Amino acid sequence: GLSSRLQNVFSKLRGKGKVSEDDVSEAMREVRLALLEADVNFKVVKDFIAKVKEKAVGKEVMDSFTPGMVIIDIVNKELTDLMGGSQSKLARATKPPTVIMMVGLQGAGKTTTSGKLAKMLQKQNHRPLLVAGDIYRPAAIKQLQVLGEQIKVPVFSLGDQTSPVEIAKAGLQHGKDNGHDYVIIDTAGRLHVDEELMEELRQIHSHVNPDEVLLVVDSMTGQDAVNVADHFNKQLELTGVVLTKLDGDTRGGAALSVKAVTGCPIKFATLGEKLDALEPFHPERMASRILGMGDMLSLIEKAQSNIDTEKAKEMERKMRNAEFTFDDFLEQMDQVKKLGPIDQILDMLPGMGKMKQMKDIKVDDKQMGRIEAIVQSMTTDEKQSPEIINHNRRKRIALGSGTSLAEVNRLIKQFDEMRRMMKQFSDMMGPKGGKNKAM
């Protein structure tokens, strides 16, 4: 994928003490290919590379101590900008209810996202109302009602014999009358953009005057998603985009081009069919994730909302200072297990993405058990100062944990790598990362 290709380019640069213009050119050639392969819009790629190159061949970069890191930082910043710079929040009406209209093609994820959004708002102590505005797709109303029941959010419906415009109007009124502060209108989609659909959406729009018009696009469709977004935006004045199915085998191109092509910010991403698989979209985190630096911040945030806040904070501090020990590692694994499917979590941890890709290590919950056994077979000193674990100690640990020397070696190597990456990450991001000031 995009991520692993870019990681390869950058692991070559990272170690270099000096970077020549040729090095930069070669890296940029590979970045360009990686982006095109990820189905990023051609023009977006061209502009992107030009911008990065302009900054990367500057004198400050060449003269810096860690030119490779500086270039990665430039790419990181440009990727972030490309996706909108900072997080774009959901609009809020000065006078409630805030009206959110969901639009998009059939199957993009409008109805499920409506449910996810309602759940998120409810968790924030709001009182959302869902409005069933898709009268065309068989069972679309039922689908929303089932979602509503699951999350205990009321669903307003007038059946499928009333026009969507009337339903939207009545739904909004119902929301006002019943003290709802958010009204989420689910609408119908078509298999392709067509004029009839657009006209109906324009009608709904003019009657309910939404604060948000969120276009829901399927990130798996790559360039098509971007074309659809462009088309809808010209017809409807979107306020934001929701990228769905980022959990799937997407090549990432949609995330990288949507904002650049439409000017419309990505506000949310969805990463699964479950109702809590909705996340505010953070361009800077997405960029880090693409660059393989992991998404520690997302993970920490998730940890904070799901588990022990104090522990998570302490973990964050340790990660930033690279004081991470095997004890922390174990504890983190414990917490990680509570967070959800191990595959998804590993993607967010620096270094772990790579671990997952290694053919000979299959990281699943069973594998986690073996890793735990290894760490538990270490002495307190060894856990705190992994550098003292020499060959004899490794043999002892392997015996004690019922694993092999190779497994122990591999884990320690991965751990070192992880620590190193954390250190790099905090150098780049932390307040002491002053070496990049030249830019």
Give the interface size with ligand GDP as a residue count (CB under 6 A): 19
158 annotated among ligand-binding-site residues: no
Near ligand GDP by CB under 6 A: residue from 67, 164, 253, 272: 272
Tokens 């009657």, residue located: 207
Tokens 């019922």, residue located: 402
Tally DSSP H helices, then E strands, for the chain. Answer: 21, 8
Among residue numbers 346 through 375, which ones bind ligand GDP (CB under 6 A)?
none
Nearer to Mg ion, 155 or 398 (CB): 155
Q: Tell me how far, at minimum, the Cβ of 5 lies from ligand GDP, in Å.
A: 23
Q: How many CB atoms within 10 Å of residue 215?
A: 29
179 annotated among ligand-binding-site residues: no
Nearer to ligand GDP, 269 or 422 (CB): 269
Task: Residue 435: name the closest of 61, 170, 94 by CA.
Answer: 61
Nearer to ligand GDP, 44 or 271 (CB): 271
Q: x-or-dash pattern for ligand GDP, window 105-134, by CB under 6 A?
A: -xxxxxxx----------------------
Cα separation, 38 vs 332, in Å, equals 32
Among residue numbers 56 through 75, which ones bind ligand GDP (CB under 6 A)?
none
Q: Tell me how far, at minimum, the Cβ of 144 lies from ligand GDP, in Å.
A: 9
Name 61's Cβ contacts closer than 8 Å, sequence gap at least 6: 19, 55, 67, 70, 71, 74, 438, 439
Residue 244 lies near Mg ion (rule: CB under 5 A): no
Contacts of the segment 386-394: beta carbons below 8 A, 24+ positions apart: 386/325, 386/326, 386/412, 386/415, 386/416
Among residue numbers 239 through 258, which ones bind ligand GDP (CB under 6 A)?
244-245, 247-248
- In the sheet that holds 212-218, the strands lie side by side as 155-156, 128-133, 182-187, 98-103, 212-218, 240-244, 266-270, 278-280
Among residue numbers 115 through 154, which ones bind Mg ion (CB under 5 A)?
134, 140
Q: How many CB atoms within 10 Å of residue 344?
A: 13
Q: Tell me how far, at minimum, the Cβ of 387 lies from ligand GDP, in Å.
A: 42
Residue 427 lies near ligand GDP (rule: CB under 6 A): no
Q: Which stretch binds ligand GDP (CB under 6 A): 163-171, 231-239, 272-280, 420-428?
A: 272-280
- Helix, strand or coil for residue 376? helix
Give me the sign of the Cα torsion angle 178, 184, 186, 192: positive
340 annotated among ligand-binding-site residues: no
Near Mg ion by CB under 5 A: residue from 7, 80, 98, 111: 111
Cα separation, 207 vs 211, in Å, equals 12
Helix pair 67-82, 21-37: axis angle to 10 deg? 30
111 annotated among ligand-binding-site residues: yes
Interacting residue ranges for ligand GDP, rule: CB under 6 A: 104, 106-112, 189, 216, 244-245, 247-248, 270-273, 277
Annotated binding site for GTP: 104-111, 186-190, 244-247
Contact residues for Mg ion, defined by CB under 5 A: 110-111, 134, 140
